[in-house]
Homo-oligomer: A and B are copies of this chain.
Amino acid sequence: VSDTHELAEALRDFLLRSHRLMDRRMRAEGVSLARFKLLSFILREQPVRSTDVATAFGYSPRTVTEALDGLEREGLIARQPDPVDRRAKRISITPVGETALRASEPLRDRLRDDVFGTLSGEERAAMAAALAKLNHRLAALEAPE
């Protein structure tokens, strides 16, 4: 297939650089992008279990425990024993965590719009459609039974 090489490179380049930019700026005024996403999810779905986070984000269990440890260490979330299942813990966001989340939200939105705003509505739609195809194909390759 022609020209997939350059396309893949450009895609990876964009991810790496946009992630670096957003992370750097967001961290300076509150929470990193990765933490922002976790906190958003926890706020929306709380009380939530570790395994729910892993499923929702497609992360490995290890990644989630590690991330939650960090958030808990800084008092942004709390873990409490699940009253009905003694294997599980219920994760909730703290007032400190909610404040940090709210503080970072406008910056995140502004940066994202700054970047994606260079595309026209048609271009964004075309890109979304292409990504949907790609993600669908990827799902097929991941589970090749």
Contact = CB atoms under 8 A, between A and B. Distances in A.
A7 interface: yes
A130 B141 contact: no
A17 B127 contact: no
A8 B138 contact: no
Interface residues of A, number: 48
A6 B124 CA distance: 10
Nearest to A6: B128
A21 B128 CA distance: 21
Contacts of A13: 58, 135
A77 to B, nearest CB: 22
21 contacts: A1-B113, A1-B116, A7-B127, A10-B131, A10-B132, A11-B131, A12-B15, A14-B131, A14-B135, A14-B138, A15-B15, A18-B134, A18-B138, A21-B142, A115-B134, A115-B137, A115-B141, A119-B133, A119-B134, A123-B126, A126-B126
